[in-house]
Amino acid sequence: MHLFSRLEAAARQERDLSLEDAASALSAPDLSTDSLLELARIPREKHYGRRVRLHVLNNVRNGHCPEDCGYCAQRKTAAPGSIADYVDKSVEEILAEAKEACKNGAFRYCLVSAGRGPGRAGIARYASIIRLIKERYPLEVCLSAGILKDPGLAQELAEAGLDRYNHNLNTSENHYGEICSTHEYADRRATLSTLRSAGVELCSGVIVGMGESPQDLADLAMTLRAEQTASIPVNFFLPVPGHAINEAHTLTADYCLRVLAMFRLANPEAEVRMAAGREMHIGASQPRALLAANSLFVSGYLNVRGSDAATTVQMIEQAGFEVDAAASDLPRGLPEKGEPDGVVLKGLPELRPFQHQGP
């Protein structure tokens, strides 16, 4: 059977995508990107119609991380002062953000913390914050807090009402040693299995453009399928000044589209997100990317500005898609930024809009 026929069978879910075909989809010269996107459109529309979910990130701790992930502006070896760093936001500040998100009709509130992972005290604090949010506001809660391998602590979060845990695998096991030396790929996989066993939905994704091969990306797409990952952010590497990695220049919009299509074919039911770097690397081709992806971030990423909500919604609607308001985290009234020109870092007013306010 020809590659296209095998991919079509995967798109129609008559068979699973194989590792070899996933890697070939990224580079086969006789398979056009448009053909691949048309195949990705089949499972995308089957599971999500023409709907697009919007997501917003809230950094509850920024910087001060002892780890050395080479793609991350928050790692220990990043240049001091390169980002607007701070230790933990207060409970009141987090509740004020959640309240505002709820007021704006958000579906979910995402707490993102820098760091290797939470200890017992950290989990107790997060559990109490999650309980408070769930008691007060009808929001789903997602937490991204690093490595977590203790089943008892994962259970504590689940019992507090945590809906989803984010922990990106980022690349393949084979390539992991090239991007980080302070922890192992196995730590990241164990985190996913621990949270899944506790009954928490998983969000885990990739950063494309860190010197990995098509085989590495195919391997990761298969691993995320094996982990039953519900949500897959596909990030395209943003070269923040001072990063230890500088590979993103190898990315083209065409390749990024193929990557999104491959992740969709490998994970037909997952929420596949066109995540960080969509403005810089996919640019005017973003409407085509929606044939594979059914969600995206608005108002930027952890430390880098991105398209504002109004610009993004206009792009979605002009492409013939619609915002899935019932499953979106609508932005909390941030100032309009328009399209960022290159990599522009966020400042404290964007990262901590409720710093001095209570709930």
Q: Shortest gap between Cβ of 323 and ligand SF4 (angstroms)?
A: 29
Confirm whether 180 is a catalytic residue. no
Confirm whether 65 is a catalytic residue. yes
Say how far apart CA 10 and CA 194 lie, in whole Å. Answer: 29
Q: Shortest gap between Cβ of 222 and ligand SF4 (angstroms)?
A: 22
Closest CA to 108 of 160, 50, 157, 162: 162
CB contact burial 5-40 (16+ within 10 A = b; e otherwise): ebbbbbbeeeeebeeebbbbbbebeebebebbbebb
Q: Shortest gap between Cβ of 22 and ligand SF4 (angstroms)?
A: 25
Site string for ligand SF4, 204-243 (x = CB under 6 A): ----------------------------------------
- The residue within the footprint of ligand SF4, chosen from 8, 21, 67, 219 (CB under 6 A), is 67
Q: Residues near 90 by Cβ (< 8 Å), separated by ≥ 6?
A: none
**By the rule CB under 6 A, 85 interacts with ligand SF4:** no
Closest CA to 111 of 124, 96, 128, 130: 130
Map the footprint of ligand SF4 across residues 316-335, applying CB under 6 A: none
Confirm whether 273 is a catalytic residue. yes
Among candidate residues 51, 142, 225, 332, the one labeled active-site is: 142
CB contact burial 200-212 (16+ within 10 A = b; e otherwise): bbbbbbbbbbbbb
Number of residues that bind ligand SF4 (CB under 6 A): 10
- The residue within the footprint of ligand SF4, chosen from 65, 141, 210, 280 (CB under 6 A), is 65
Confirm whether 110 is a catalytic residue. yes
Residue with tokens 């080479």: 70
Q: What values do phi and psi take at 244, rounded to 5?
A: -80, -15
Q: Shortest gap between Cβ of 93 and ligand SF4 (angstroms)?
A: 19
Angle among Cα 190, 191, 197 to the nearest 5 degrees reads 85
Q: Shortest gap between Cβ of 69 and ligand SF4 (angstroms)?
A: 3
Instruction: Indicate the residue among 72 and 292 with the shorter CB distance to ligand SF4.
Output: 72
Confirm whether 120 is a catalytic residue. no
- The residue within the footprint of ligand SF4, chosen from 31, 37, 114, 154 (CB under 6 A), is 114
**By the rule CB under 6 A, 146 interacts with ligand SF4:** yes
Closest CA to 87 of 110, 66, 64: 64
Could you say which DSSP state residue 88 is in? P
Say how far apart CA 67 and CA 48 lie, in whole Å. Answer: 37
Task: List, by residue number, the catalytic residues.
Answer: 65, 69, 72, 110, 142, 203, 273
Site of interaction with ligand SF4 (CB under 6 A)? 65, 67, 69, 72, 74-75, 114-116, 146
